[in-house]
Amino acid sequence: MNTWIQRSDYQLIYDHLLDCVQNETPQQVMERFRALFIMGYTYPDRSVQGALDQIVGDRNAEHNFKLFINRCCHILVNRWQKRPLLHGAIPEFLALLETPIAMPAGGLSRATIVRRLRLLFKGYLESEYYQKLQRVAQFVGEDHRDLSSIRRNTDRPLSSLIRRYPYLYDHCLIGDETTAEEKSFIMRSQSKIQQQFELDLSNYLTTEFRIGNGNTVIAPVKNPTLLSDTELKTSLKHFVGKVDGRQTYRDMAQQFNQQTAKNKSTEAFKREFYHYLTDTSGVSFGNGRFRQRFEQYIKTLPALQQTHQLNDFALVRTCSQTLNYLVVDSAQNPNHLVFVDLLNNIGTPATIGLLLKIVLVSKKVKPYLEKRFAILFNHYQSFNRGKVKWLVNCLENFNIATATHFGRQDFSFFSKL
């Protein structure tokens, strides 16, 4: 098919959908969408139906259709997300997309083109594009601060918690297909939600401290996390306090970086990096098995084999490769047995603390660690929250670690208490 004609077909449909969503009710728009893209029969506007037939019949349709239909869906969702009264249309729209529909009988008119349309549409529903649309819908529709409702509804999918974790937005909600307008909306929300969590956490910690010191007049502040009160206090003590009774995580990282600056030998760095990560008072790494495997891994890291003098590139590569090993390698290879083993052996706060140590050595790898958590989130997004409580606890603990070490609120005062 001629490329110029194909582009005009795409634009005709985009413009048509934009006009419809601006001037019609969500129910009318959804009925149009169903008739055009799902049923494939008797759409009232023949020029729009003809343009879609051209796109579906193109020899490159299997490659191009997912991105095309994804943009069509986002045209509607973007409009509805700007208007709070229409937010309810978004989950209704996704339910429409997932409504099973049979293939047409072979003898009917348009059967061939409709069959191809439905196969292409099915491919979109199985794609990463659609998974991301689902997460965007959850992001718009869920109230991250309605904690009592979240705690009750453990049968909801993990994806419905996306709004609680701003550090996942870049990797779970934003992609190459995201428009500048969508990205701006998500980034503004990210900043607002992160700052609100930091403020809530600071207020909670301040209030608990005052109550603990005998101030019975002050009203308690609600736990701003999905952890139990006991779990939250353990986590705060771990990330804000002195981990080994002498130093905070920030103190340990500062001391390690000072040692590294004096001796830039990669051989010395291997030894010091391993001990820095594993020498934590009161933490037992699986009766020595993990220590042995991990020490061998550090010794054979590619980034440290290619140079004798440690430089910034080797440091960043070493930290990112270590995060691969400890959490998860990639979306294509989502093996995370080491991570689960760590959680079982040393607990969630200490495991997140181990990862925090790496990020404090090289803050450049913070987005890289966030991407590791995004891979796990995407991998389990359809699971009920109750079935992946271990991952929810990890995400909550990392939320606390991020707020206390990289946020705008100053938590350093509490480390001295």
Query: What are the domain boundaries of the chain?
Result: 3-141, 195-415
Q: Greater confidence, 211 or 156?
A: 156
pLDDT at position 412: 80
Task: Specify the pLDDT at position 110.
Answer: 81
Comparing CA positions, the residue from 157, 142, 161, 150 lying closest to residue 387 is 157
Position 417 scores a pLDDT of: 58
Distance CA 146, CA 280 (A): 36
Q: Which residues pair with 265 in a beta bridge?
A: 309
Given a contact cutoff of 8 angstroms between Cβ atoms, the answer to whether 123 and 70 are in contact is no
The pLDDT value given to residue 105 = 61
pLDDT of 302: 76
Q: 138 and 90 in contact (C-beta within 8 Å)?
A: no
- For the segment 334-342, the average pLDDT, to the nearest whole number, is 94
What confidence tens digit (pLDDT) does each residue in 115-174 have? 999 999 999 999 999 999 999 988 887 777 678 888 888 888 999 999 999 999 999 999
The neighbouring-strand residues paired with 384 are 157
Interhelix angle for 61-81 vs 111-125, to 10°? Answer: 70
- Whole-Å CA distances, 192 to 103, 113, 136: 46, 46, 17
What's the rounded mean pLDDT across residues 28-43? 93
| Single-letter residue type at 198 | E
* pLDDT greater than 50 at residue 260: yes
pLDDT computed for residue 82 by the predictor? 87
Task: Extract the tokens encoding 218.
Answer: 């002050």
pLDDT score at 2: 47
Judge contact between 363 and 161, C-beta under 8 A: no
Choose the weakest-confidence range: 87-91, 108-112, 152-156.
Answer: 108-112
pLDDT of residue 214: 73
Mean pLDDT on 15-41: 95
- pLDDT tens for 216-239 read 777 888 999 999 999 999 999 999
Q: How confident is the model at residue 3 (pLDDT cuts 50, 70, 90)?
A: very low
- CB burial readout 269-308, b (16+ within 10 A) else e: bbeebbebbbebeebebeeeebeeebbeebeebebbeeee
Nearest of 362, 356, 350 to residue 393 by alpha carbon: 350
Percent of all residues in the chain with a pLDDT value above 70, rounded to a whole number: 94
In whole angstroms, what separates CA 26 from the centre of its chain?
28
Work out the number of other CB atoms within 10 angstroms of the CB of residue 229: 12
Cα distance between residue 246 and residue 251, in whole Å: 9
The Cα 287–Cα 280 span in angstroms is 14
Phi, psi of 302 (to 5 degrees): -55, -40
Nearest 5 degrees, angle CA 259-CA 262-CA 266? 85
